[in-house]
A and B are shown apart, each in its own frame.
Chain A
């Protein structure tokens, strides 16, 4: 059975999704470390530098805030003509604090980033996931996402 973030709920009543601020990075690093087991401080500062608030309309780094707590974050960007694909939005990072799951936080963040993509002029959103990541796969499926017409490939480099 899945434990996906319910999309029936719309999150805590005071939940708001807004662009990331430098002061949020400590909580973002902590959420990511709790979920992945790895603390990647340099990575998050670098990501903030590239995608942080107000950089461009094409890059979005948003947080979900309830009261004074950061409950989750989502990151994406508009990619143009990648492998012949017309410009579309890409979500390449999403996480919700484990204690705040099953309350619609992820759905609200995805909705917000999709609004951002629409504002940037694109009408399709994509993501890429490990196929054994049932939790996040189920979440995106529950939001209406289907398999894209692409196949990810890889090979070992000797």
Chain B
């Protein structure tokens, strides 16, 4: 399952905002960090704002800050603001179901899609932040012996 560019920018942005609750971040800051177009990101942030997941911050520099509930908001909730993957099936999207071969290949793709959707539905923003922290700790621990050499 491949997500659209706007969707991945939305996921990056939500995790940036949720990791810094209360702090206002501008579209330009996030765009620079993830090598994205500031114009594209601004559109994504407006959509997240309309959904109530971020709120625009007035004052010097402007920007947005997190206004969602990190322990309830799932990756799927964010994804579905930008594309409808919940009804996507391998049969209809990838292969022509009018042949036996296409139907069989579609069934395999459908298996993969169902697992991907269940994964997106089961992971909250809060869980993602913990995963990011854990990976940082593991990376630091892996580097520590190397630094000690």
Contacts and interface: CB of A to CB of B under 8 A. Distances in A.
B69 to A, nearest CB: 7
A142 interface: yes
Given A131-B118, A132-B118, A2 B134 contact: no
A1 B77 contact: yes
B124 interface: yes
- For the residues of A in contact with B, the DSSP-based class is loop
Contacts of B121: 2, 134, 137-138
Contact of A1 (B73, B114, B118): B73
Contacts of A2: 71-72, 74, 121-122, 124
A131 B127 contact: no
B119 A147 contact: yes
Interface residues of B, number: 19
Interface string B112-125: 00110011011110
B127 A138 contact: yes
B74 A1 contact: yes
A120 B127 CA distance: 28
A138 B118 contact: no
Interface in A122-158: 131-132, 134, 137-138, 141-142, 144, 147
B74 A144 contact: no
Contacts of A3: 72
Nearest to B117: A131
Nearest to A136: B122
A147 B116 CA distance: 11
